[in-house]
Structure formats: structure tokens, C-alpha cells
A and B are shown apart, each in its own frame.
Chain A
Amino acid sequence: MSDIKLESKVPPGPLPDKWDEHKFAVKLVNPTNKRKFRIIVVGSGLAGASAAATLAELGYEVTMLTYHDSPRRAHSIAAQGGINAAKNYHNDGDSVHRLFYDTIKGGDYRSREGNVYRLAQISLDIIDQCVAQGVPFAREYGGLLDNRSFGGAQVSRTFYARGQTGQQLLLGAYQALMKQVSLGTVQLHPRTEMLDVVLDDGRAVGIVARDLVTGAVRSFSGHAIVLATGGYSNVFFLSTNAKNSNVTAIWRAHKRGALMANPCFTQIHPTCIPASDDFQSKLTLMSESLRNDGRIWVPKEFGDERPPHLIPEDERDYYLERRYPTFGNLVPRDVASRAAKREVDAGRGVGPRQNGIYLDFTDAILRLSRSVIGERYGNLFEMYERITGDDPYSVPMRIYPAVHYTMGGLWVDYDLMSNVPGLYVLGEANFSDHGANRLGASALMQGLADGYFVLPATISDYLASILGTEPVPVDDPAFTHVEADVQDRVDRLLAINGSRSVDWFHRELGKIMWDNCGMARSHESLDKALGEIPALRDEFWSDVRVLGEGETLNQSLEKAGRVADFLEFGELLCYDARHREESCGGHFRVEYQTEDGEALRDDEHFAYVAAWEHAGVDKEPILHKEPLEFEHVALAQRSYK
């Protein structure tokens, strides 16, 4: 398939007019024809639930699948800090243009100007929509919406609902979705996992899924397929993602022809609770909003084992405030994470395993009082205490970076359609808006922008072109072949009956990825990973032990399928990381750094989106490039000093 042409379809014209002009240019489907179209939405997080609800409100017939027992459980629910919007309610100089600029700069100039400007414009409508649905955002005493500031910005534009913003936004979208379920416009299939995409004549026409309770493999046919299946952080095994989050849906689509863009752009979140032992099953994030009031430091002395309160002020190094006086503790995530790694690698780490740094609230409590801090961060402090047994009101938190979010994903155009006609990708599953690094409180913004506003406006352009066609019947060979593939794979996994558990392989893969393709990467380490992953994959397919049957709930079998896909995907991630010979955002190559250890971009050679085509397992993927053009922002070395 060397004839792939990557057209971003970003409309011409001045930035502020692009989206309006585009909405006018797309073909529409009239209300009576909308109900003739069936759209399949996979995933019920912010992007999937908001898209399904809105498409159903418009009159389309929607089928929604989720592997959870209820759509309300998707991992969007765990987002703590907030959602950005350029409302300028604080009169502090914010604007759509500033949010656009901050996002482009924060993404280290690896995203499309047109997409990001649209995101900043839509951010205003998202807040209004969520308030109308009853999301209980924090309020000032006068009844107006409250804001806080977040990393990578010098204005207060983050809206929040205590430390549970993701939960509240997701419940808003879920409730809108359930209303449509009650009206019969959305068919809901919980505990159902998508395992493949069906193409007919080059178009996406359906999916094949497995009922996780009965094990039945069945097909769903539709006019368009929407994947909103989240990110792939769990390729590292230890991450802040939920245990079930996986790459399967987008990887299966990739293997059927959809291009995977910038998979090496992975975000390491600076404020997570450090791993405490080898049985650790996941890492827990502490909201970035804590950096508003917490001060980050390490002892100046190497291997200083005194408890923190016995280390005098002049023997502490507040290294972020020292190195980045302008942004201080609020530098973007990638900068904060690398700085923490530098301190720990140098031997100044704290805690029993010397794998953390301090996040200290003592000054904030003195300045604002314990009750104000409790009101802002109480639930986070409780969560920290529950996990570690330490009370952050009296002992500084210990934190360390962990894999948290993935900017890469399936390639999409301005309409959010992949290179496969009829296949749309939303939210974290696509690559679109965050470039090489996502700013805090922007994931919720993007997921809801895609689902509430972008897809519902763009999907009609494609549907109008196939008006009058019926969905391909599920007994068509296009479907039965894929169903047979899926069933065969399930049977193979159960038949291996080897000696090692699925989790063992997942942990091994995670170690390879973290050690060689984590916070710092080199040509040498990536070569090493690219040698080790295929060997581990071969071992998996000959020695994994999946017990139980295929006809009942079988969680080992579910995990095995997901880990099998991670074992292929991890290799692509390393290929991408090896080819990108520059450091930018979340991708840090040790060969490319400035004298003081900052990321060194190479705009001359790498200002493009790397979109990879699948050439077969065990074959090197094929690179396609979408050049990035910057007309409105001057490319500059990022500086937060």
C-alpha cells in the first residue's frame, strides 16, 4: 500500500475562520435521513460517551460497546485536576489565541496549528455544555465558576470539580448517553470487547467483538466506526492507567491498514507515588494541581537519609525554582519529569528505595492555613495517606514520574477520520492535538471537543457520500472471515498451555520498554529493545499459560489477547523512537540535548508527523510523513526559565 496519501484536510484561510468555514463546507445529512445511518462507537470514556450521546441526539442510530460492566467506569473517570478553557473569567490576559499558543508550544511544535486552534475555540463551548448537564464545577462564593492554574500556563484557566473533575465530566457524558439509551437511539453492549475491524472494499464497515460473559464472538455492522478506546501507556506495564486499558482496538485497526502516528510520544507524569515493591500492580497519580501550592525539593547532600523535617532550609535544593525562575514548580510535565529523573539518577533521591523527590506543603499551610489546603487537596491527601501510610499535612509527599498518557495514536485528518474511509478515531486513541507533550487539563478538553463538537459536525461529510447504501450484512464473507480469525486466535491462546502467566510476560515487556524506551532513550537502548521484544513475543506464543475456557468469563484470556497486541505494538513504538533523531516533548533522546540537559529539537529534519504503515509482524514498518507547517507560530526553543 505505497499509494497512501496523507492529507490533513486542514482548511485554508485565517486561523480563527478555519473551523467555521469547514463546517459550512462539509456535506450535511438531513434529519429524516440521519436515522438511516448506523454508527458504531467503541469505548465509553469522555470521547466515546460524548460522541455517542451527541450523534444519537442528532438522530443517528448508534451502537455502543464497552468492555466495562457499565459505561461509567472508563478511565477518564480517574482524571483529577481539571479541564482547560480560554474563558478569561479571571481577566488575566487569557484568550483563545493564548490557549492555542500554549498548547502548540507545550507540545514542542509537533502538532497541527489548525487542529489546535479549533480545540482552543471549542474549549469555551465545552464548559457551557458541562455546566448545563449539571457537572458540579467548583464555584466562588458569588456563584461564579472558579479556576486554578496548571503547568505550562501563566493564566488561571482550569475548571475543576474538587479532585474528581474527570469523574464528574464522565458522569455528565454518561448520563447524556443513558438518556439516549432510554430513548432507544443508542444500543448499549457492556462487557463486550472489540477484537477486530472489518473492511469491505477499503472502507470500515463493522467490527468483531467478544461477549466477555458468554465468550460468544459476534459481528456488528454499521456505516461508520468510531474508535474512542484510549491510550497505550500499559505497554510499560506500570503506568497510571487502569489495569484493563489496552492498545487492542487501535492496534487491530492498524493491522487492517490504519496508520499509527507518533507512537513514541509518551508522557511521563511528574507527580506519581513511587513504586514500593516488586508486586506493584500499577502506579497512582497525584494531581498536577498539587504543584500550585507544593514545593519540590531534594536534599543537597547525596544519600542524605535524615527525615525531611530535620533537613534545614539551606541544605535543600528547590531545583525547579532554581533552574526555572519564571515557571518554577509549574513547568510543563516533560520538563518536571526529566528534572526529577536527573536528581534521582544523581543519587539525591529520597524514601526507602531512594526513588522519589519531595513535594512539600509546609509553606503553603503556613501561608494559607491547613483548612484551605484541605479544601483544595483534601481527597488527594487522603488518597496519598491510604497508599503510603504517611500524612502529607505533616510529612512531605514523595513523588516520582510515571507513564501517564500517550500523545501518539492512530493518524486522523481534520475530520478525525483515519486513512481508512469510515473509520474515525477520537480522544487519546488518536494522535491529533497534543504534539510531543500534552499540557495538564488538556486531555479532558480534547476528549470532549472530539466527542461533543468535532465528530458530530464532520461525520456527515462521509455519510452523505454513502447515502442510500445498506450496512454490509454480518453473514457476508467480509465479516465471517474476520470472525474466524478472531475465534482462531482465542483458540490458539487457550491451546498453548505453557508454563508462564500472562502477567509475567506483561511485566517483562514493561521492563524492556521502561529501561530502553522510557524517560531517556538512545539509539543503542532502542536497538536493544528491538532485539528483545520479538524474542519475548515468540516466547509468549509458545509458553504462555491461559487456563479456563473460552465460553465463560475468563480474565486471563482477555489479558492474554491484550498483552499479545502490546508485544507487537511495543516494537513499533521503539522503531518510531529510534527513527526520530531529536528530543522533543515526551521523547528524550540522550544524544540530542543542550549543554544544560534540555531537549534539543531538530525542526529542519523532524517537523513532521511520523505515520507508520503495518507491513506484517516481524517486518519493519513503513514510514509515511505528514509535514507540519507553522504559519502563525514561530518555532522557538522552548524555554520556561
Chain B
Amino acid sequence: MKVTLKVWRQRGPETDGGFETHEVDDVSPDMSFLELFDVLNERLIAERKEPIAFDHDCREGICGSCSMMINGRAHGPERGTATCQLHMRKFEDGAHITVEPWRARAFPVIKDLVVDRSPFDRIIEAGGFITAPTGSAPDGNLILIPKEVADASMDAAACIGCGACVAACPNGAAHLFTAAKAQHLNLLPQGQPERWSRVVAMVDEMERWFGSCTMHGECEAACPKEISIDFIALLNRDWFKAQFKQRRLAGQVA
């Protein structure tokens, strides 16, 4: 196979970037998309040109490092697939492929295709946890969790924190990420004591960085773990309820 890559290059956060075009021959259909970049980078090094920077690590679709807009789509054309698990057999011979970094104001470019996703960590820091100091836990089987509940929680917890949902959203909103992280915990019995404070704190922090949700649904389509947009509805429900629950905590019965 042969492909033509149009790749975003940017030296640093403060400099302007631009596209660079590279033709790559001898592409095998069994190659992963990141292996295509490995091959291209080897060639660039041989030509004394600086290789293209991109985030990657596990290459098994679980660490959430990889982050490429491929032909305008987060993680490329294949549904439920992170960039590292995308294979060249999904492209046609002679394809023209445009590759950009995540496009979102909250994720500034560090270099080439590498962006800063630390606002996600800030959202977790704000409340994306269950307070359970080490050593204080009761026996695991003391807390009965119906299978359906554990499964629903796991559906949300599958989020890999890659940021594709934000990159795909026309508003640059992080509702799918925040919803997945909040509902993973809010659905479980262990998560109930902090449920209302959690959702308010996480949403407040989210709104400091990201845009608003207008239910376009692009996030669900881009999510490599196919996390359902239904979780956003649950997030909104919990946030709404929290307004009353929180007031009740303050002694103001709703």
C-alpha cells in the first residue's frame, strides 16, 4: 500500500504550526497506524529531519495516551478503536490521510501531535474518588452489589481518559468523560455518601476548562470504548438533584 500523510507540525505551544506532507510507500495492511508513524519517523531521521512527536505508550488501546485526529475524526474511521489499535487494512491504497492533534482549547498543543490533557486530572482531583483510607475497608463481600449495577458501573469505568470526546465535540465539552468518571462511582453503593458533593465538584471543575454540552452526540461516536451518552443524562440528573440535596444538607429543606 501507499498513503499520503498530511501531518500537523508545531515546534512548541507558543509557535505557529502548519501541515507537512509525506508520502509513505511499502505500507503493509497489517501495520498499525502508529507503526506507520514509526516507519515515517525512521525515514525522517535518516533524512536528518526531526521526527514527529506523538503520545503513545501501551499500544493496546488501554492507556489512553494516543490522540490523533485522523481525517477530522478522533482516533480515525473505525468505531470503538483507539489510534494505536487502528490498522492500515482499514484504509484504501493511495489514501490521503490528514493527521492533527486533538482540537480543543482546553488541550493546548505541546509539540506536533502532543497535547496537554491535564484538565482531566483536575476534574478527578475535584471529586472523582471514593474516600476510603487504606486499611479501613470491611470485607469485600459485606457490600452486596447486584450484577447489573456492577456491570453498569464497569461500563462507565471503562473510560481510558484519552480525550477523544472533547476533541470530537463542536463545543469542546468534556461531559462524556466527566459523566463516565462520576457515574462509575455514583452508581455503586460505596459511592453514595459522597454522591452529591462529588457531582457538583466535578461539574464545577469541568466548567472551568471545557465548553457546554448541547447533545450533539459526537463524543459517543468518537469514544474508543463506546461509552454511552446515557451517562451524561445520569450526570445531569445527579447534578440537578444535588442542588436540592445540598441545600437540605445546609438545613434549607427544598
Contact with A along B83-122 (1 / 0, CB 8 A): 0010101000000000000000000001100101110110
A143-B147, A161-B154, A547-B45 in contact; A279/B31 too (CB < 8 A)? Answer: yes
Cα A318 to Cα B206 in complex, Å, equals 54
Within 8 A of A (CB), among B112-162: 114, 116-118, 120-121, 124-126, 128-141, 143-147, 149-151, 153-154, 157-158, 160-161
Within 8 A of A (CB), among B23-67: 28, 30-32, 34-35, 38-39, 42, 45-46, 48-51, 53, 55-65
Cα A378 to Cα B250 in complex, Å, equals 47
Cα A132 to Cα B139 in complex, Å, equals 9
- A551 to chain B minimum Cβ distance, whole angstroms, is 10
Provide the residues of chain B in CB contact with A277, threshold 8 Å: 28, 30-31
Pick the contact of B135: A125, A176, A213, A554 (CB < 8 A): A125
A161-B154, A168-B157, A503-B42 in contact; A132/B34 too (CB < 8 A)? Answer: no
Contact with B along A218-251 (1 / 0, CB 8 A): 0000000000000000000000001110000000
Pick the contact of A144: B129, B136, B141 (CB < 8 A): B141
- B247 to chain A minimum Cβ distance, whole angstroms, is 24
Q: Is B12 an interface residue (CB 8 A)?
A: yes
A129-B135, A134-B184 in contact; A242/B130 too (CB < 8 A)? Answer: no
Q: Is B4 an interface residue (CB 8 A)?
A: no
Pick the contact of A552: B12, B63, B151 (CB < 8 A): B12
Q: Is A429 an interface residue (CB 8 A)?
A: no
Provide the residues of chain B in CB contact with A178, threshold 8 Å: 121, 124-125, 128-129
Q: Find the A residue at minimum CB distance from B129.
A: A175
Provide the residues of chain A in CB contact with B160, threshold 8 Å: 167
A176 touches B129 (CB 8 A): yes
B62 touches A77 (CB 8 A): yes
Cα A176 to Cα B128 in complex, Å, equals 9
Q: Is A164 an interface residue (CB 8 A)?
A: yes
Contact with B along A68-84 (1 / 0, CB 8 A): 11111111011000000
Cα A128 to Cα B139 in complex, Å, equals 5
A72 touches B161 (CB 8 A): yes
- Chain B interfacial residues counted at CB < 8 A: 79
B34 touches A556 (CB 8 A): no
Cα A182 to Cα B128 in complex, Å, equals 11
Q: Is A452 an interface residue (CB 8 A)?
A: yes
A282 touches B144 (CB 8 A): no
Provide the residues of chain A in CB contact with B242, threshold 8 Å: none
Pick the contact of A140: B147, B190, B191 (CB < 8 A): B147
Cα A50 to Cα B135 in complex, Å, equals 12
A242 touches B63 (CB 8 A): yes
Q: Find the B residue at minimum CB distance from A190.
A: B118
Q: Which of A11-19, A200-208, A382-390, A575-583 contacts B (4 or more CB under 8 A)?
A: A382-390
Q: Is A97 an interface residue (CB 8 A)?
A: no
- A96 to chain B minimum Cβ distance, whole angstroms, is 15
Q: Is A57 an interface residue (CB 8 A)?
A: yes
- B238 to chain A minimum Cβ distance, whole angstroms, is 15
Provide the residues of chain A in CB contact with B117, threshold 8 Å: 69-70
Q: Is B188 an interface residue (CB 8 A)?
A: yes
Q: Find the B residue at minimum CB distance from A131.
A: B140
B38 touches A89 (CB 8 A): no
Provide the residues of chain B in CB contact with A53, threshold 8 Å: 134
Provide the residues of chain B in CB contact with A285, threshold 8 Å: 60
Provide the residues of chain A in CB contact with B63, threshold 8 Å: 73-75, 77-78, 242
B57 touches A243 (CB 8 A): yes
- A73 to chain B minimum Cβ distance, whole angstroms, is 5
Q: Is A400 an interface residue (CB 8 A)?
A: no
Provide the residues of chain B in CB contact with A70, threshold 8 Å: 117-118, 120-121, 161
B118 touches A69 (CB 8 A): yes
Cα A553 to Cα B110 in complex, Å, equals 8
Q: Is A139 an interface residue (CB 8 A)?
A: yes
Q: Is A501 an interface residue (CB 8 A)?
A: yes
- B56 to chain A minimum Cβ distance, whole angstroms, is 6
Provide the residues of chain A in CB contact with B141, threshold 8 Å: 87, 89, 144-145
B154 touches A73 (CB 8 A): no
Q: Is A24 an interface residue (CB 8 A)?
A: no
A139 touches B145 (CB 8 A): yes
A242 touches B190 (CB 8 A): no
A77-B63, A140-B147, A556-B45 in contact; A128/B138 too (CB < 8 A)? Answer: yes
Q: Is B241 an interface residue (CB 8 A)?
A: no
- A103 to chain B minimum Cβ distance, whole angstroms, is 21
Pick the contact of A131: B42, B51, B78, B137 (CB < 8 A): B137
A143-B145, A178-B124, A552-B111 in contact; A136/B150 too (CB < 8 A)? Answer: yes
- A273 to chain B minimum Cβ distance, whole angstroms, is 10
B137 touches A132 (CB 8 A): yes
Cα A555 to Cα B31 in complex, Å, equals 21
Provide the residues of chain A in CB contact with B53, threshold 8 Å: 553-555
B146 touches A143 (CB 8 A): yes
Q: Is A133 an interface residue (CB 8 A)?
A: yes
Provide the residues of chain B in CB contact with A548, threshold 8 Å: 50
A131-B140, A182-B126, A547-B50 in contact; A78/B134 too (CB < 8 A)? Answer: no
Cα A282 to Cα B60 in complex, Å, equals 9
A277-B28, A547-B48 in contact; A132/B130 too (CB < 8 A)? Answer: yes
B57 touches A386 (CB 8 A): no
A129-B135, A139-B145 in contact; A244/B57 too (CB < 8 A)? Answer: yes
- A428 to chain B minimum Cβ distance, whole angstroms, is 15
Provide the residues of chain B in CB contact with A386, threshold 8 Å: 61, 78, 81, 85, 87
Pick the contact of A383: B50, B60, B121 (CB < 8 A): B60
Provide the residues of chain B in CB contact with A129, threshold 8 Å: 132, 134-135, 137
Q: Is B11 an interface residue (CB 8 A)?
A: yes
Provide the residues of chain B in CB contact with A54, threshold 8 Å: 133-134
Q: Is B7 an interface residue (CB 8 A)?
A: no
A143 touches B138 (CB 8 A): no
Within 8 A of A (CB), among B177-229: 184-185, 188, 190-191
A72 touches B64 (CB 8 A): yes
Q: Is A369 an interface residue (CB 8 A)?
A: no
- B106 to chain A minimum Cβ distance, whole angstroms, is 14
Q: Is A284 an interface residue (CB 8 A)?
A: yes
Q: Is A181 an interface residue (CB 8 A)?
A: yes
Provide the residues of chain A in CB contact with B125, threshold 8 Å: 178-179, 181-182
B87 touches A387 (CB 8 A): yes
Pick the contact of A553: B32, B56, B59, B114 (CB < 8 A): B114
A176-B129, A242-B63 in contact; A136/B157 too (CB < 8 A)? Answer: yes
Q: Which of B48, B62, B134 has the most CB of A within 10 A?
A: B134
- A202 to chain B minimum Cβ distance, whole angstroms, is 31
Provide the residues of chain B in CB contact with A282, threshold 8 Å: 59
Contact with B along A267-295 (1 / 0, CB 8 A): 00000000011011110110000000000
A-B contact pairs, 10 of them (CB 8 A): A72-B161, A125-B137, A136-B188, A168-B157, A171-B157, A279-B28, A547-B45, A552-B111, A553-B53, A555-B51
Q: Which 9 A-B pairs have the closest CB atoms?
A: A143-B144, A132-B137, A175-B129, A132-B132, A128-B137, A131-B140, A136-B154, A136-B153, A139-B150
14 more CB-based (< 8 A) A-B contacts, given A128-B140, A139-B151: A57-B134, A68-B57, A127-B140, A136-B150, A164-B62, A175-B130, A181-B125, A188-B121, A242-B57, A386-B85, A386-B87, A504-B42, A552-B111, A553-B110
Residue ranges of B at the interface with A (Cβ–Cβ < 8 Å):
11-12, 28, 30-32, 34-35, 38-39, 42, 45-46, 48-51, 53, 55-65, 78, 80-81, 85, 87, 89, 110-111, 114, 116-118, 120-121, 124-126, 128-141, 143-147, 149-151, 153-154, 157-158, 160-161, 184-185, 188, 190-191
Residue ranges of A at the interface with B (Cβ–Cβ < 8 Å):
50, 53-54, 57, 68-75, 77-78, 87, 89, 125, 127-134, 136-145, 161-162, 164, 167-168, 171, 174-176, 178-179, 181-182, 188, 190, 213, 242-244, 276-277, 279-282, 284-285, 382-383, 386-387, 389, 452-453, 456, 501, 503-504, 545, 547-548, 552-556
